[in-house]
Structure 1
């Protein structure tokens, strides 16, 4: 692991909850008040759309020095965007292994930020800078993701993913689970925002559920998305009758 805790370094006397977005998002407010402790090399952020999990993932990537547009650490090439308000204020308590990366120059940092909505363009830029062996535009979306996983997710560093399952089949998701397991074995750290019950089943990973309650650590079997998928697969009509008009 590289990071033991993330916290917000607010200027003295400034509030959060009354200051508008993102501070009004419950999980961000809790992060500002309490911080977020990482207890495992792989952490999943799970919640409904709008719960703030992607906001957290992006801020963690920015604070580590990953481009918020997506791509590798140590080389800002894809976007001239300034860090988000949360990302600019986020700080880390690093482990011994992480201290050299975080406190050293940007070129020492290792990792990758993969976000579903900008992945194709970010991966194309990786290929243009000869960091990928093939062009993702000549592959399917999912194949491009798998290429990045094989070639850019291979050493100790921070790997932040925002809904990577969006482009992946069932078998490809299983390959990603195997990759996450390999990454933690070499000392890397993974933070993944996801809706996938398949990914979150990785043994030994910590699952942080975000929502109106803020953030809380839960077991896989306790996740609402796991319960809903089980019920849906057992009887799709129990759900579909509420949304179909026929």
Structure 2
């Protein structure tokens, strides 16, 4: 493991403001978030705060909020988010070495909205590839060394088979000493054996098993009988 716990502190005058009003951020303030496996998936509905959380975790580790590797810190000239500025880590020995020395740090932040721009900046020529191939190029060419890899909905550009390829790469990466934190809506990705799954929502954050995830239940029901869902959204 590289980081074992993330936490943040906030003054009382900020307590009712965004992002401190988001349930998962409030829980981060009260309890912190422990990482107990090499891969942690954050799962929740749109607006639950999971992307806010993973962006802040990436920033806390020194990765640019626009996306990219540790080598491109502040390349986008975006200021850190108010939460990212206050993120702190309890780290394992390897993590302490990385956090203590910029030259020792390894990592990458991949966010769906800015991935192609970030990959172009990294010299991967995403315009010469399909959207999905551009994503996979990052996994093949940049996700190589032990480090902290933070992903925000990487499945957005990937087909079913490409998601399986991503899973295989993440498994090899973590076996070689990396750590992955990933926000996702994908029942395919979250099925990775040994991964820790944290469900984010109005309740805050809670650990759960893959089979108990709401998104897994909805996909199972939808594939069994699409009309049961479509009748609520189609005229």
TM-score (norm 2): 0.97
In the TM superposition, what is the alpha-carbon distance from 1:103 to its structure 2 partner? Answer: 1.4
Q: Is the 8 A contact 1:72 1:112 kept in 2?
A: yes
In the TM superposition, what is the alpha-carbon distance from 1:16 to its structure 2 partner? Answer: 7.0
**Structure 1 stretches (4+) deviating beyond 4 angstroms?**
none
| Counterpart position of 2:158 | 168
2:84 matches 1:94: no
> Relative to 1, partners in 2 of residues 1:201 and 1:17: Cα closer, same or farther, differing over 3 Å?
farther
2:47 matches 1:57: no
| Counterpart position of 2:3 | 3
In the TM superposition, what is the alpha-carbon distance from 1:37 to its structure 2 partner? Answer: 0.4
Q: Report the Cα distance in structure 1 between the residues aligned to 2:13 and 2:20, rounded to whole angstroms.
A: 5
Q: Report the Cα distance in structure 2 between the residues aligned to 1:185 and 1:120, rounded to whole angstroms.
A: 27
Task: Give RMSD over aligned pairs.
Answer: 1.1
Q: Is the 8 A contact 1:58 1:68 kept in 2?
A: yes
Q: Report the Cα distance in structure 2 between the residues aligned to 1:17 and 1:219, rounded to whole angstroms.
A: 34
2:138 matches 1:148: yes
Q: Report the Cα distance in structure 2 between the residues aligned to 1:71 and 1:18, rounded to whole angstroms.
A: 31
TM-score (norm 1): 0.93
Aligned runs of 1:213-224 on 2, under 5 Å?
A: 213-224=203-214
| Counterpart position of 2:30 | 33
| Counterpart position of 1:68 | 65
Q: Report the Cα distance in structure 2 between the residues aligned to 1:77 and 1:19, rounded to whole angstroms.
A: 29
| Counterpart position of 1:202 | 192
Q: Is the 8 A contact 1:113 1:160 kept in 2?
A: yes
Q: Report the Cα distance in structure 1 between the residues aligned to 2:72 and 2:226, rounded to whole angstroms.
A: 46
CA offsets 1:83-128 (integer angstroms, 9 cap, x no match): 1011000000010111110111x2321110000000111111001x
Structure 2: gaps (5+ residues): none
